[in-house]
């Protein structure tokens, strides 16, 4: 017959297993994001900023730095500042109202879409998957983009 201690011990073992699985997935996503963003930064000629891909909070701000000139015309030159303000205010406001946490996700997905447009003909598919997974798929997509050459931009003349 099973006593209460064995049931409790089994319950804690399952919780610990789920926690370690979650931790392993988080570490893998961090590595995928770091490798992907590091290689993308080098590909885009921003080797001076590539190291940010490995610094935990700073890595979030590497993406807007890389796409500063590719965003909507009215945001060019100030997107990184807007991104930082939204990201920080989202963090602070979400301490009081959890729904504000989605503001940072929204601007992060916009930045991801702009970057995906540079590296994939299926940028919309990558963006939709990122939205459905609440951004969890972004490191995998970035990892897939890492060895690709940027697509030619519309309206920009390519000089050799």
pLDDT at 21: 96
Quote the pTM value: 0.85
- Identify the helix (H) or strand (E) that includes residue 84: helix 79-94
Residue 160, domain member (yes or no): no
**What is the span of the domain harbouring residue 29?**
4-145
Side-chain half-sphere of 159: how many Cα atoms within 13 Å? 0
Total of domains in the chain: 1
pLDDT at 160: 45
Main-chain dihedrals φ then ψ at residue 73, nearest 5 degrees: -50, -40
Residue 110, domain member (yes or no): yes
Residue 154, domain member (yes or no): no
Binned average pLDDT, 10 residues per bin, the chain of 160 residues: 82 94 95 95 92 91 91 89 93 90 92 94 94 94 92 60
Residue 153, domain member (yes or no): no
Residue 34, domain member (yes or no): yes
Residue 159, domain member (yes or no): no
Residue 158, domain member (yes or no): no
pLDDT at 72: 87
């Amino acid at each position: 017959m099973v006593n209460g201690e064995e049931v409790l011990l089994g319950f804690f073992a399952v919780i610990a297993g789920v926690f370690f699985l979650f931790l392993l997935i988080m570490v893998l996503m961090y590595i995928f994001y770091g490798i992907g963003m590091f290689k993308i930064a080098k590909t885009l000629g921003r080797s001076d900023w590539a190291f940010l891909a490995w610094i935990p909070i700073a890595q979030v701000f590497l993406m807007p730095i890389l796409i500063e000139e590719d965003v909507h015309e009215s945001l060019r030159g100030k997107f990184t500042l807007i991104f930082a303000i939204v990201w920080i205010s989202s963090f602070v406001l979400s301490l009081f109202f959890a729904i504000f946490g989605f503001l940072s996700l929204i601007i992060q997905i916009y930045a991801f879409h702009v970057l995906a447009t540079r590296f994939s003909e299926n940028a919309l598919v990558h963006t939709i998957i990122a939205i459905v997974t609440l951004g969890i798929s972004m490191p995998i997509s970035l990892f897939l983009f890492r060895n690709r050459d940027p697509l030619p931009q519309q309206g920009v003349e390519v000089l050799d």
